[in-house]
A and B are shown apart, each in its own frame.
Chain A
């Protein structure tokens, strides 16, 4: 009975397989309502969220709580999911909506206001929602990065301003992300809108296109495939990235560490766009008290000081100590561009379409 034994073997295989499948996922913590057990809090966020184990553990211990993080895609995808599940919220807190999406979140009414006492330590220019439904947690500057070695090799001064980029000496050196599919891509487009004005920025992009700017879908492709300053060793020495990328290059350099960062940022007036990330308590939460504590915690020293090396963003709270690599290698833009969230929401589609017609036609 040759076949029988084969079928038996297949069955055994199948049973083993299902056993593996059962065994593989770590057991998910069952929510416990008993007063003695820890209270659970779910934080919905984007895929880039990161934090240190001990920082989170400290909060959990102090509040007898268990935090579950629900990573839900990139910023846009995570926010859309929060909006779609508004009537039956998946979480108590949402972290990670930025100023380019803030209006969408506020208009959809997913947040409950919370005037955290920690807000007093946050500069006014980061606090974009007067009703405190969304509280600023951190910011990051989207800036051009350049490959230092390239410009030294060619004895060419790196560009200082947006205007420099259309000069012939910087022809076909720049790679940018498509604002329709990329968050830094949109941020850089907004920088040009703020700098040149909503009526003029398209002229600038037409000149950039004539100067052979390259457009790719997202940051990963731009930075690792096209940019020459990264480990991908691409062909172009100028890329739209973050002011925090040079310190990241130092922190993630293999031993022995290099003497200096391989890249630097272009921080001339209006050349960068400041992305501000917000946290908010989701409407309908049954753990309002704990959610408030979590928001306070995100705005407290331990969490704020942990953010730079975890997410490569700058703390929103004033006076938080930055890691050495940030102090040494991150440059601060002179006057980052600003566009109000309401304007962004109103014109996002039209600006992207105008940009597409001018650059990709």
Chain B
């Protein structure tokens, strides 16, 4: 479907000269705002990345691009790139299809339990892949509930649904992980969209569908694009889902990079693959920047109280029921199954495997507090939770501190005037470059951290701050992306009005921008928190065993046989779910400001 906002008329040529001088100062201010974020990226992204790529592509000090050339002619590599793109496009479209109705619901209606629903939808985001695989297997595996039910229904011995290790399982898992991105980014933007705009179209004779496709959808486009880009990059660099749920027949670029790096220790090929992945990411983000600049316009944002209504018609209630039911079935049911299992004991008398006795037990939770093997690496559960929450809180703080100035610098002059000609291409590039850490191979960057930070002058390998910094690398582009649509939507007249009343730029930011984007700040903060809690391959970046987080402890349990290990892994996973949902609820209860409260 083609949607396009009426583009503003180009400025007459003579006003162009007038625009040059302010543009210069706007750039100086932007550079000032960007100084810290750029320093952060240079130190913790560019420097490690260049360090490791240099080992692969210039082992003797001279750049040798032969591995790239070899890759370009390699049929297998082309297939891998093709599949990586194909599954990412499919996954993104499906995630949007699932997430948009949910976004509509949370944006336009006010109902009890909405906050909880939003928090629960964010839980999948932090779950380790191995745990998610176990959850999916319990639900749709050959002996999962659904197959058992179908087998009983059709009186057959073979499971009718064979989804594990297919493209279907990959897509389902990507939807499971990423729907929350659509729900939050689009939902929160939508919640502040003035419903009277679509109402006006209806008054002018448009039917509901037409009002939606011609008014609401174009206005939502920036948020939808931002969400789609983030979902796409996550799917494009997917690793665990592909390996564990897709099985060995599927390989993305990230899987291939892992294989070349760890199994074969072929750094030149790994470097060439990493560069390919980076180039693709850059291409998507540039495309995004183009599209996004086209569809974005300042909007009159409205407080939620103004845009939302209770579910007071039976049709609205029915629709809400269907949407909430669908989201719960897709996002919460697999996790609920795991949580349930962590309280269940299975007892099968010998030879009677068909008659497994089940019963309630707290044994796995109690066992978490016992250092049965007197191991030096034993992590008490509260310590693991403390470590995880501490790192996540630090990541949230760091990401917000870096993202606010970045998002301001990137959006301000874009919205300061409406003409595109004053938008400096440099800014568009920068916007895209800032997204790159998200699309960079964690395996590659992990070795880069090792090479870069284990010797002077930057021998920071042992610093406890390195873990939150590594997490911030992933969270930062995310938070910038969740802030940008809201900042772009602020009418520049408001800031000018503040300035004309004598407010300093900082004061104007405090009094105008912050209240208007308060909601987006909290959304970004919640994302940063969740990203850190779920680790996202950052453990590959920095391993600190004396400092175990919950996901590390879960993996440790899952790496050994035995019912107690499995049970404790599930118990800790359940604790991780609770910490995540609790953390998101807590962050979102801190309101920085609500539109229209002044």
Pairwise interchain contact A10-B590, C-beta atoms closer than 8 A: yes
Given known A-B contacts A20-B393, A24-B386, A216 and B248 have beta carbons under 8 A apart: yes
Of A3, A48, A216, A231, the contact of B566 (CB 8 Å cutoff): A231
A210–B486 Cα gap in the complex (Å)?
57
Q: Which of B133, B351, B560 contacts A248 (CB 8 A)?
A: B560
**Nearest Cβ distance between residue A38 and chain B, in whole angstroms?**
16
B136 to chain A: closest residue by CB: A225
Q: What residues of A have a CB within 8 angstroms of the CB of B511 in the complex?
A: 3
Number of chain A residues close to chain B: CB under 8 A: 88
Given known pairs A235-B143, A241-B561, the reply for A84 and B547 (CB within 8 Å) is no
Residue from the list B243, B249, B364, B450 in contact with A218, Cβ < 8 A: B243
What are 14 contact pairs spanning A and B, CB under 8 A?
A: A20-B394, A21-B393, A24-B386, A24-B394, A26-B546, A28-B464, A52-B375, A77-B540, A153-B351, A220-B559, A221-B244, A252-B565, A254-B563, A254-B567
Query: Which residue of the partner chain, among B137, B393, B515, contacts A232 with CB atoms under 8 Å?
Result: B137
Interface residues of A in 196-234 (CB under 8 A from B): 214-221, 223-225, 228, 230-234
Chain A positions within 8 Å of B, measured between CB atoms, are 2-4, 6-7, 9-10, 13-14, 17-18, 20-21, 23-26, 28, 47-54, 56, 68-74, 76-77, 80-81, 83-85, 88, 90, 104, 149-150, 152-153, 178, 180-181, 214-221, 223-225, 228, 230-235, 241, 245, 248-249, 251-255, 259-260, 309-310, 312, 348-349, 352, 356, 360
Contact of A180 among B141, B263, B563 (CB under 8 A): B263
- Which A residues are in CB contact (< 8 Å) with B36? none
CA distance A228 to B346 in the complex (A): 13
Q: Is the CB of B561 within 8 A of A69?
A: no
Bound CA span A245–B566, Å: 13
The stretch that binds A, out of B110-118, B202-210, B211-219, B454-462, is B454-462
Least distance between B555 CB and chain A CB atoms (Å)? 8
Tell me, in angstroms, the Cα distance from A215 to B247 when the chains sit together.
7
Chain A residues contacting B565 (CB-CB under 8 Å) are 252
Q: What separation, in Å, do the CA atoms of A273 and B248 have in the docked complex?
A: 22
B423 at the A/B interface (Cβ < 8 Å)?
no
Interchain CB contact under 8 A, B464 and A25 = yes
Query: Which residue from chain B places its CB closest to the CB of A263 in the assembled complex?
Result: B561
The reply to whether A254 and B564 contact each other, CB–CB distance below 8 Å, is: yes
Query: Apart from A56-B376, A80-B265, A217-B243, what are 17 other A-B pairs with CB-CB below 8 Å?
Result: A7-B510, A17-B397, A21-B465, A49-B377, A77-B262, A84-B55, A104-B265, A149-B350, A181-B259, A224-B558, A231-B567, A249-B562, A252-B564, A254-B567, A255-B363, A310-B373, A348-B264
Does the CB pair B373–A3 fall under 8 Å?
Answer: no
| Residue from the list B130, B540, B563 in contact with A231, Cβ < 8 A | B563
Q: Given the complex, which residues of A lie within 8 Å of B79, measured CB to CB? A: none
Query: Roughly how many angstroms separate A356 CA and B259 CA in the complex, as a whole number?
Result: 13
Residue pair B561, A230 in contact (C-beta under 8 Å)? yes
Task: Check if B317 is an interface residue, CB within 8 A of chain A.
Answer: no
Q: Is B387 an interface residue (CB 8 A)?
A: yes
Contact in complex: A23, B390 (CB < 8 Å): yes
Q: How many residues of B contact A (CB 8 A)?
A: 90
Query: Considering the chains assembled together, what is the distance between the CA atoms of A62 and B64 in angstroms?
Result: 52
B74 located at the interface, meaning its Cβ lies under 8 Å from any Cβ of chain A in the complex: no
A253 CA / B564 CA spacing, docked (Å): 6
Does B447 count as interface, using CB distance less than 8 angstroms? yes
Kindly identify, within residues 336 to 353 of chain B, every residue whose CB is under 8 Å from any CB belonging to chain A.
345-346, 348, 350-353
Which parts of B128-156 form the interface with A (CB within 8 Å)? 130, 133-134, 137, 141-143
Residues A9 and B590 in contact in the complex (CB < 8 Å), given A21-B393, A360-B249 = yes
Which residues in A have their C-beta under 8 angstroms from that of B401? Answer: 14
Asked if A18 and B455 make an inter-chain contact with CB atoms under 8 angstroms apart, the answer reads: no
**Contact at B393–A233, with CB atoms within 8 Å?**
no
**How many angstroms from the CA of A260 to the CA of B348 in the assembled complex?**
12
Task: Determine the distance from Cα of A17 to Cα of B354 in the docked complex, in whole angstroms.
Answer: 51
Q: Please give me the residue from chain A that is nearest to B448 by CB atom.
A: A84
B514 contacts A by Cβ under 8 Å: yes
- Chain B, residues 557-577, CB within 8 Å of chain A (1/0): the string is 011111111110000000000
CB-based contact A73/B543 at 8 Å: yes
| A224, B566: Cβ atoms closer than 8 Å | yes
| Inter-subunit contact A221/B133 (CB<8 Å) | yes
Question: CB < 8 Å: which of A3, A28, A225 contacts B514?
Answer: A3
Q: Is the CB of A81 within 8 A of B447?
A: yes
CA distance A25 to B379 in the complex (A): 13
Q: Which residue of B lies closest to A250 (CB)?
A: B562
CB distance from B256 to the nearest CB of A (A): 10
Is B543's CB under 8 angstroms from A25's CB? Answer: no
Check: B58 CB closer than 8 A to any chain A CB: no
Q: Which of A17, A90, A220 contacts B558 (CB 8 A)?
A: A220
B261 part of interface (Cβ distance < 8 Å): yes
Give chain A residues whose Cβ lies under 8 Å from the Cβ of B564.
Answer: 252-254
CA distance in complex: A195, B78 (Å) = 36
CA distance A6 to B390 in the complex (A): 23
Which residues of the other chain, B, contact A230 by a CB distance below 8 angstroms? Answer: 561, 563, 566
B366-407 residues at the A interface, CB under 8 angstroms: 367, 373-378, 386-387, 389-391, 393-394, 396-397, 400-401
Q: How far is the CB of B63 from chain A (nearest CB, A)?
A: 19
Residue B493 interfacial (CB < 8 Å): no
> How many Å lie between the Cα of A321 and that of B249 in the bound state?
44
B545 at the interface (CB under 8 A from A): yes
Within the complex, what minimum Cβ distance (angstroms) separates A142 from chain B?
13
- Give me the 9 closest cross-chain CB pairs, A-B, nearest first: A252-B562, A24-B390, A21-B394, A25-B464, A231-B566, A71-B545, A217-B243, A88-B455, A252-B564
**Binary per-residue interface labels of chain B (353-368) against chain A in the complex, 1 for a CB within 8 Å, 0 otherwise:** 1101000010110010
- Cα–Cα, bound, A324→B137 (Å): 35
Min CB distance, A47 to chain B, in Å?
7
Residues of B within 8 A of A9 (CB): 590
A10 to B547, CA, bound (A): 28
Contact yes or no, A251 B562, CB < 8 A: yes
Query: Distance (Å) between the CB of A58 and the closest chain B CB?
Result: 12
Q: Mark B13-55, 1 if CB is under 8 A from A, else 0.
A: 0000000000000000000000000000000000000000001
Instruction: For B485, list chain A residues within 8 Å (CB).
Output: none
Partner of B447, one of A6, A84, A214, A348: A84
A150 to B540, CA, bound (A): 38
B524 within 8 A of A: no
Contact between chains at B394 and A18 (CB < 8 Å):
yes
Q: How far is the CA of A352 from the CA of B527 in the complex (A)?
A: 40
The reply on B451 being an interface residue by CB < 8 A is: yes
Given contacts A52-B376, A181-B263, A241-B561, contact A25 B547 (CB under 8 A): yes
Q: Are B563 and A234 touching (Cβ within 8 A)?
A: no
- Chain B: minimal CB distance from A281 (Å): 19
User: Which A residues are in CB contact (< 8 Å) with B400?
Assistant: 14
| Contact A309-B373, Cβ < 8 Å, known A23-B390, A47-B556, A251-B562 | yes
Does B305 reach chain A (CB closer than 8 Å)? no
Q: Bound state CA distance, A254 and B368, in angstroms?
A: 12
Min CB distance B98 to A, Å, is 25
Report if A153-B353 is in contact (Cβ < 8 Å); known contacts: A21-B394, A181-B248.
yes
Q: In the complex, what residues of B have CB within 8 A of residue A49's CB?
A: 377
B247 touches A245 (CB 8 A): no
- Identify the closest chain A residue to B51 (Cβ): A84
Q: How far is the CB of A242 from chain B (nearest CB, A)?
A: 8
A48 in contact with B559 (CB, 8 Å): yes
Which A residues are CB-close (under 8 A) to B375? 50-53, 310
**A149 with B348: in contact, given A76-B263, A80-B265, A88-B454 (CB under 8 Å)?**
yes
Given known contacts A47-B559, A85-B450, A310-B373, is B134 in contact with A232 (CB within 8 Å)? yes
Contact B461 A90 (CB under 8 A): yes
A5 to B454, CA, bound (A): 43
CB-CB < 8 A to A356: which residues of B? Answer: 248
* Distance between B368 CB and nearest chain A CB, rounded to angstroms: 13
Select which of B142, B367, B561 is within 8 A of A223 by beta carbon.
Answer: B561
Q: B462 contacts which chain A residues (CB < 8 A)?
A: 28
The reply on B591 being an interface residue by CB < 8 A is: yes
Q: How far is the CB of A173 from chain B (nearest CB, A)?
A: 13
